[in-house]
Chains A and B, each alone.
Chain A
Amino acid sequence: QSALTQPPSASGSPGQSVTISCTGTSSDVGAYKYVSWYQQKPGKAPKLMIYEVTKRPSGVPDRFSGSKSGNTASLTVSGLQAEDEADYYCNSYGAGDGWVFGGGTKLTVL
C-alpha cells in the first residue's frame, strides 16, 4: 500500500490560514472516516491534532480543523502562530495494509 500524498512544504504568515492536503485512494482516505493528523516538532514524538477526519482532541486549539472530500483529506490551520511551525503527517486506515501515513509536510511560519 502506497503512502498518502502530501505536499512537502507549506508556508504562511502569522495570522493567515494554511491548508495541507492528503491524497489517498478509494481504499483508504475515500473509504473510511479514520483520517487523523499529527504535528511533530524536532526531536519530539508526534502529537495528535485531528482524528476521525474532523474531531479535535482535548487541548488542541480550534484553529486546527480537518475535512475530507472524496479521496483527499485536508488540515487547515487558521490564524497561524509561530508555534505552529512543525512537520504535519496525515494517516488513514486502509483496506489491506491496515494503516498508512502521508510523507509529511513541513509548515513554515514566515
Chain B
Amino acid sequence: QVVLVQSGTEVKKPGASVRISCEASGYPFSRHHIHWVRQAPGQGLEWMAWVSSGSDEPKYSQNFQGRITVSKDTSANTAYMEVRSLRSEDTAIYYCGRDFGWSIDYWGPGTLVTVSS
C-alpha cells in the first residue's frame, strides 16, 4: 500500500532553516510528482510547491518563491523541502502528498514546525 512517512516535529528559532523529508513506499516513486502543502494552526490549506517525478524544474508558489527549495532523492524514494528565514508565521503542519492527475491522493501524516524564540 502507498505510504508517505515524514520526518518528526521541529522547533526552530526565527531566522533559522528547517528541512523536512517525505519517504514514499508502495509505488514507483519516479512516476508521481510530490506536492508540499502547509496548514497554520486553525487555518486552511496552502499549497507551497511540487517536485516533478521526472526532470522538470520544481514549481513554487509565488508566496514562497526564493525562501523554499524542494528536491528529491529517487534512489531513496524521498522528497525534501527546505524552508529558510523562518518566522513565527511559518508555524504550521507541513504535509507532503502524492500527485494524482493534479490532485493529491495520498498524504503524509504531517510535520509540525514551531518557530519561536
Contact = CB atoms under 8 A, between A and B. Distances in A.
Contacts of B47: 91, 98-101
A36 B95 CA distance: 17
Contacts, number: 65
Residue from the set A38, A45, A57, A104 with the largest chain B CB neighbour count within 10 Å: A45
B44 A48 contact: no
Interface size class of A (residues with CB under 8 A): 20 to 34
Interface in B56-80: 59-62
State which size class the interface on B falls in.
20 to 34
Chain B interface helix/strand/loop/mixed? strand
A99 B44 CA distance: 14
Interface string A35-47: 0101010000111
A51 B102 CA distance: 8
B29 interface: no
Contacts of A1: 61-62
B45 A38 contact: yes
A83 interface: no
A1 B45 CA distance: 14
Identify the interface centre among B45, B101, B103: most chain A CB within 10 Å of its CB.
B103
Interface of B: 35, 37, 44-47, 50, 59-62, 95, 100-105, 107-110
Interface of A: 1, 3, 32, 34, 36, 38, 40, 45-48, 51-52, 57, 89, 91, 93, 96-104
